[in-house]
């Protein structure tokens, strides 16, 4: 089990319980299924209620939580004067991470440290496993400090024993200590625990506390043993995300821009925190999304600010108005960027964000353009392996069942043999001891034999009945597998890669559908009642769970005849959801199957069950990806309880509301699946509600 552990250290006092719990929740929800998180929480002033609440994190996903009371260690930092910290919102708790080497058990060879004001939006087991154990530490270089090092790192530029940093700072860069992976074993070998306190004896109150300490004893003493993680693994949410501000900050502009667009770790560093106020510049809602999935789901959001400070906005506006005012027309080039000015006002900005994405701003309106690479295809060898695997599993299952039956029958005959011997022995004793009662004894034993015979007959019948039932169930499973394979080959195989290079819109029935402005030159795939949306003619329609649509099936059958291709789906575990064959004949529709709740996404839907996480939309999504589109727009996919576009009900039913967490998990699994197997398909959410922040968002006015 130890090989499956991923170790984490977090620190905090009793004012930081909820942020710590939300951070741990984000780690658990993204960690690989085959790994186990082990949390060491260095705690100060935790009450028993605080500890019990933090243990509730195990309800999110099984994990290990070890609470370490730091009261016994605070005397080690008696020389620290917290009033001299450059960051006034930082307290002595931040120094606790320096004690990792002394506190962690011997079986911990490496361990992540993570600040409690972070959200982890990626699987950290990849960094954990790929870390080069020749190094001491893996961390992200702090771009703000490196860009403005003459001010922020003024003390590092002045200390006599940091000549290497002063001479070549980009070769000896300064990392952020909010997130790092420490090689605990190697750090112990180098006695870094003692070196940390030697540094504090020499510099008892460094401006950036423990971060200065770690950079001094590791980053500057062993720069060749520092692994630099990509900047996306530590993106500050309360700093300016203008890539042009960071042209001398160690990382390339492309890497920094990619980090701003697709963060893997959100760092809410600084005095503004999402659970305190709404002033965080970027990604405020990400923290609250993970909070809603944690044991602190009922935590109240801070009230909206009634007064705002517009000084920064005014300065920015004056800069735009006054910069290059005199030229009537000017074209400026700056790092893959072209700007056009008219009387000093920028009316067009064209920027190459990444190799596959361009951004345009025309009079403040923002547009993006994507180029899509050719996607992966499932080859015939993989298909054959899948089929072989399924039949091998079936054969192993049959062998196991027959072996169990054989053992059961042998046990029953053995029991019969032992019981029979016992009865004859009792009979002989009865004859020898009580001759005068011979007749009564014979009658008594005859009755015993009669009962025994009935018992054997009954048990043998039960064994036989059980065997027949199990063989019948196996036979049904084989029939279902064959039926799914044959049906899906006919239904879906002709559509493989059919829409390569084209755009698809998934049309669901959430209330936001009413705000949808149809996108031209796209294929529209609707689900259930989406056929009632009169602004478009659907090209495809997925119908599932007929029990809720019986009053509308005649209208659905007649909808778009000759224009709209319909797919009618059966949920195999729920017989009342099965769609009669007559409906398919009337509508010239195609049949498909799902396996019920939690059926996963697969690449080859022509031979496997379609996914189902409580909504027909997941079957439509799997089909859309199978056609290999350039862009995939999500419309009406609200993932919320705000009702339906056609006022079918004002709000969704209580039973469906209870499924919303599972449906949202399904969307997360869809995102992971699409990013891995269809990385070149851009997924865009139109007017999102519950999915806001999950994909690229576009609001239509």
- The structure tokens listed for 612 are 């189902």
Give the sheet arrangement for strand 36-44, strand by strand. Answer: 64-69, 36-44, 5-13, 110-114, 175-183, 137-141, 226-228
How far is residue 254's CA from residue 264's CA, in Å, rounded to a whole number? Answer: 16
Taken in order 649, 650, 651, 654, the sign of the CA dihedral is negative
Q: If DSSP codes are grouped into helix, strand and coil, which group holds residue 194?
A: helix
Q: Give the CA radius of gyration of the chain.
A: 33
Q: 114 - beta bridge partners?
A: 179
Is the pLDDT score of 152 beyond 50? yes
Which residues share a beta bridge with 346? 341
Q: What is the three-class DSSP state of 2?
A: helix
Contacts of 621 (CB under 8 A, 6+ apart): 506, 611, 632, 670
Contact between 312 and 286 (Cβ < 8 Å): no
Whether the CB-CB separation of 115 and 267 falls below 8 Å is answered with: yes
How sure is the predictor about 473, in pLDDT bands with cuts at 50, 70 and 90? low
DSSP string for 396-448: HHHHHHHHHHHHHHHHHHHHHHHHHHHHHHHHHHHHHH-GGGHHHHHHHHHHH
Contact 174, 149 (CB under 8 A): yes
Angle at the Cα of 162 from the Cα atoms of 224 and 198, rounded to 5 degrees: 90
Calpha distance 258→242 (Å, rounded)? 12
Share of the chain above pLDDT 90, in %: 45
Which pair of structure tokens corresponds to residue 182? 């420490």
Question: How do strand 345-354 and strand 226-228 relate by DSSP bridges?
Answer: unpaired
Question: Which of 78-87, 98-107, 216-225, 429-438 is the most confident on average?
Answer: 216-225
Contact call for residues 115 and 269 (beta carbons, < 8 A): yes
Among 110-124, 381-395, 567-581, name the most confident range: 110-124
pLDDT at 80: 56
**Could you tell me what percent of the chain has a pLDDT over 70?**
71
More confident: 308 or 285: 285
CA 628 – CA 504 distance, rounded (Å)? 10
- pLDDT at position 141: 96
Query: How many residues are given for the chain?
Result: 701
Q: How far apart are the first and last CA of the chain?
A: 53
Supply the pLDDT for residue 315.
43
- Inform me whether the pLDDT recorded for 30 exceeds 80: yes
Put simply, whether the predicted model's pTM sits higher than 0.85 gets the answer no
Separation CA 504–CA 473 (nearest Å)? 40
CB atoms within 10 A of CB 81: 8
Question: d(Cα 14, Cα 49) in Å, to the nearest integer?
Answer: 10
**What are the structure tokens assigned to 497, written together?**
């890669």
Tokens standing for residue 593: 């199957």
DSSP annotation of 527 reads E
Is 22 within 8 Å of 43 (Cβ atoms)? no
Gap between the Cα atoms of 431 and 424, Å rounded: 11
Q: Alpha carbon of 291 to those of 118, 295, 298, 301: distances in Å? A: 12, 8, 8, 10
Q: Please, are residues 6 and 111 in contact by the beta-carbon 8 Å criterion?
A: no
For 533-647, where are the alpha helices, taking DSSP H only? 553-558, 581-587, 617-626
DSSP string, 619-654: HHHHHHHHT--SEEEEES---SSS-BTT-SSSS--H
**CA torsion through residues 11, 13, 17, 22, sign:** negative
Q: In what order do the strands lie in the sheet with 235-236?
A: 118-120, 265-267, 235-236
Tokens at 451, concatenated: 């009962």
Q: What pLDDT is stored for residue 651 in this prediction?
A: 57
Q: Cα dihedral sign for 74, 77, 81, 86?
A: negative
Q: What is the mean pLDDT of residues 276-304?
A: 91
**DSSP strand E in 166-228: where?**
175-183, 226-228
How much is the pLDDT for 52?
Answer: 93
Are the CB atoms for 383 and 604 separated by under 8 Å? yes
Of 524, 569, 563, give the one whose Cα is nearest residue 549.
569
How confident is the model over 173-208, as pLDDT tens digits? Answer: 999 999 999 999 999 999 888 888 888 888 888 888
Look-up of token digits 């800069």: 319
Which pLDDT value is given to residue 182?
Answer: 95
Q: HSE on the CB side for 372, CA within 13 Å? A: 19
Tens digit of each residue's pLDDT (9 = 90 or more) over 101-122: 888 988 899 999 999 999 999 9
Range with the poorest average pLDDT among 190-199, 248-257, 466-475, 618-627: 466-475
Non-local CB neighbours of 6 within 8 Å, separated by 6+ positions: 31, 35, 36, 37, 38, 112, 124, 125, 128
Tens digits of residue pLDDT in 573-615: 776 667 888 878 878 899 999 988 888 999 899 988 999 888 9
Please give the full DSSP string across 228-262, using - where no structure is assigned: E--GGGSEETTS---GGG-SSSSS-HHHHHHHHHS
Which two tokens mark 476?
């049904």
How far is Cα 419 from Cα 577, in angstroms, rounded to an integer? Answer: 51
Compute φ and ψ for 526, nearest 5 degrees: -105, 165
d(C-alpha 19, C-alpha 697), whole Å? 26
Q: What is the pLDDT of residues 222-273, one digit of tens each?
A: 999 999 999 999 999 988 888 888 988 999 999 999 999 999 999 998 889 9
């Amino acid at each position: 089990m130890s090989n499956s552990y991923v170790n984490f250290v977090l620190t905090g006092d009793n004012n930081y319980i909820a942020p710590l719990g939300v951070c741990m929740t984000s780690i658990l929800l993204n960690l690989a299924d085959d790994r186990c998180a082990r949390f060491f929480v260095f705690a100060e002033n935790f009450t028993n209620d605080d500890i019990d609440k933090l243990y509730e994190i195990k309800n999110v996903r099984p994990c290990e939580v070890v609470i370490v009371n730091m009261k016994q260690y605070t005397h080690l930092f008696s020389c620290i004067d917290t009033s001299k910290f450059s960051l006034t919102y930082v307290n002595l708790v931040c120094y606790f991470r320096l004690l990792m080497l002394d506190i962690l058990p011997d079986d911990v060879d490496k361990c992540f440290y993570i600040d409690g004001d972070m959200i982890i939006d990626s699987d950290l087991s990849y960094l954990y496993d790929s870390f080069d154990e020749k190094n001491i530490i893996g961390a992200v270089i702090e771009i703000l400090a490196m860009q403005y090092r003459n001010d922020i790192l003024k003390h590092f530029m002045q200390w006599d024993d940091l000549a290497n940093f002063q001479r070549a700072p980009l070769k000896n860069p300064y990392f952020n200590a909010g997130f790092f992976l420490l090689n605990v074993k190697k750090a112990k070998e180098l006695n870094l625990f003692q070196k940390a306190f030697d540094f504090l004896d020499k510099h008892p109150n460094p401006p950036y506390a423990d971060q200065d300490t770690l950079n001094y004893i590791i980053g500057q003493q062993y720069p060749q043993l520092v692994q630099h993680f990509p900047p996306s693994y530590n993106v500050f949410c309360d700093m300016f995300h203008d890539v042009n501000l960071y042209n001398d900050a160690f990382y390339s502009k492309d890497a920094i821009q990619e980090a701003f667009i697709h963060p893997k770790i959100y760092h809410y560093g600084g005095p503004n925190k999402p659970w305190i106020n709404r002033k965080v510049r970027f990604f405020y809602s990400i923290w609250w999304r993970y909070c809603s999935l944690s044991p602190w789901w009922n935590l109240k959001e801070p009230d909206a600010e009634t007064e705002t400070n517009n000084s920064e906005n005014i300065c920015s506006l004056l800069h735009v108005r006054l910069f290059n005012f005199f030229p009537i027309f000017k074209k400026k080039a700056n790092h893959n960027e072209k700007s056009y000015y008219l009387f000093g006002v920028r009316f067009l900005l064209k920027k190459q964000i990444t190799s596959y994405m361009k951004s345009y701003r025309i009079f403040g309106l923002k547009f993006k353009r994507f180029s899509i690479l050719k996607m992966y295809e499932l080859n015939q060898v993989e298909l054959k392996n899948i089929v072989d695997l399924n039949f091998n599993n079936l054969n192993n299952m049959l062998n196991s069942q027959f072996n169990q039956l054989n053992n059961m029958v042998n046990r029953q005959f053995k029991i019969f043999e032992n019981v029979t011997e016992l009865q004859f022995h009792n009979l002989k004793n009865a004859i020898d001891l009580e001759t005068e009662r011979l007749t009564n004894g014979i009658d008594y034993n005859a009755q015993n034999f009669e009962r025994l015979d009935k018992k054997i007959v009954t048990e043998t019948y039960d064994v036989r009945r059980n065997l027949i039932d199990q063989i019948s169930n196996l036979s049904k499973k084989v029939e279902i597998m064959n039926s799914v394979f044959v049906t899906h080959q006919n239904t879906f195989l002709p559509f493989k890669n059919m829409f390569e290079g084209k755009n698809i819109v998934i049309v669901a029935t959430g209330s936001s559908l009413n705000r949808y402005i149809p996108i031209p030159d796209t294929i529209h795939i609707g689900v259930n009642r989406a056929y009632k949306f009169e602004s478009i003619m659907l090209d495809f329609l997925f119908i599932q769970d007929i029990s809720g649509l019986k009053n509308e099936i005649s209208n659905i059958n007649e909808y778009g005849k000759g224009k709209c291709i319909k797919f009618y789906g059966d949920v195999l575990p729920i017989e009342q959801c099965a769609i009669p064959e007559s409906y398919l004949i009337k509508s010239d529709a195609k049949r498909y199957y799902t396996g019920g709740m939690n059926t996963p996404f697969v690449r080859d839907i022509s031979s496997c069950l379609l996914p189902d996480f409580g909504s027909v939309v997941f079957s439509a999504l799997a089909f859309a990806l199978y056609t290999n589109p350039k862009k995939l727009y999500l419309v009406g996919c609200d993932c919320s309880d705000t009702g339906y576009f056609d006022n079918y009900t004002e709000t969704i039913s209580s039973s469906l509301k209870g499924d919303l967490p599972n449906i949202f998990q399904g969307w997360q699994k869809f995102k992971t699946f699409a990013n891995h197997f269809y990385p070149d398909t851009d997924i865009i959410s139109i007017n999102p509600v519950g999915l806001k922040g999950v994909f690229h968002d576009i609001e239509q006015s």
